[in-house]
Structure 1
Amino acid sequence: MNAKFYEIKDDKVIIYVKAQPNSSKNKIAGLYGDNLKINIKAPAVEGAANKELVKFLSKTFKIPKSDIIIKGETSKRKQIILPLNEKIKEFLKEYNEQ
């Protein structure tokens, strides 16, 4: 069993993300050790990649941008805190089965 790339606390999920800026497109690239690797088009300049990451996660999981919290903004390994909705539950279930 893989190390968990997320933790569920109450009605929130903390996902450990390795962000890969300057990618050709925004996408979830898969598991990278105990992180979820996410490719982001924006460069890691003045928070552009973090803004793009929030936008991408908001669209992917149907969550308002204001509900997405990023910890470790200047680090490549970030903690993304999201409200636990059905879309995220499905996503986590899918990844657990891999």
Structure 2
Amino acid sequence: MLDIKEDSAGVSIKIRVQPRAANNQVAGVMEGALKIRITAPPVDGAANKACCSFIAELLGVAKGQVTVSQGHTGRNKTVRVEGLTARQVLDKLYY
């Protein structure tokens, strides 16, 4: 089960990032975190930026609505998505 926390402004999603992958893709759910493979290397924030762009595209929101709120230097991160509910996120990820 995906770990999503919702408040009045949006949602926070736990993710696990695998940098330097062959393609940008969702690789499932691992220990409550959405596992994402990103082609960008983990250098100078490139993987964080690519991760935010990929999640924005996946959820159909603007890039500015997605930010890394925790875990800037690790693989385990919390991503903040403004303007969506938990139900909307789940619907877009699973349907």
Structure 1 SS opposite 2:48: helix
| Pairwise CA RMSD | 2.0
- For residues 21-32 of structure 1, what are the structure 2 equivalents within 5 Å? 21-32=19-30
Deviation of 1:44 after TM superposition, in Å, equals: 0.4
* 1:44 is the counterpart of 2:42: yes
- Deviation above 3 Å: which 4+ runs of structure 1? none
Structure 2 SS opposite 1:23: coil
TM-score normalised per structure 2: 0.84
Deviation of 1:11 after TM superposition, in Å, equals: 3.6
Between the two proteins, the alignment pairs up a number of residues equal to: 92
Bigger relative contact order, structure 1 or 2 (CA pairs below 8 A, ≥6 apart): 2
Aligned residue type for 1:70:
V
Structure 1 segments unaligned to the other structure (5+ residues): none
Q: Distance in 2 between matches of 1:56 and 1:78?
A: 14
In the alignment, which residue of structure 1 is the partner of 2:89? 88
The 8 Å contact of residues 13 and 81 in structure 1, kept in 2 or not, is answered as yes
Any idea what the Cα deviations from partners look like across 1:31-89, whole Å, max 9, x if unmatched? Answer: 01121100001110111111111111121111111111202211211110102167524
Q: Distance in 2 between matches of 1:66 and 1:41?
A: 20
The 8 Å contact of residues 62 and 87 in structure 1, kept in 2 or not, is answered as no
Judge which range, 14-23 or 49-58, deviates more: 49-58
- The 1:35–1:7 alpha-carbon spacing in structure 2 relative to 1, beyond 3 Å, is same
- The 1:5–1:28 alpha-carbon spacing in structure 2 relative to 1, beyond 3 Å, is same
Structure 1 SS opposite 2:53: helix
* Alignment partner of 2:54 out of 49, 53, 56: 56
Structure 2 segments unaligned to the other structure (5+ residues): none
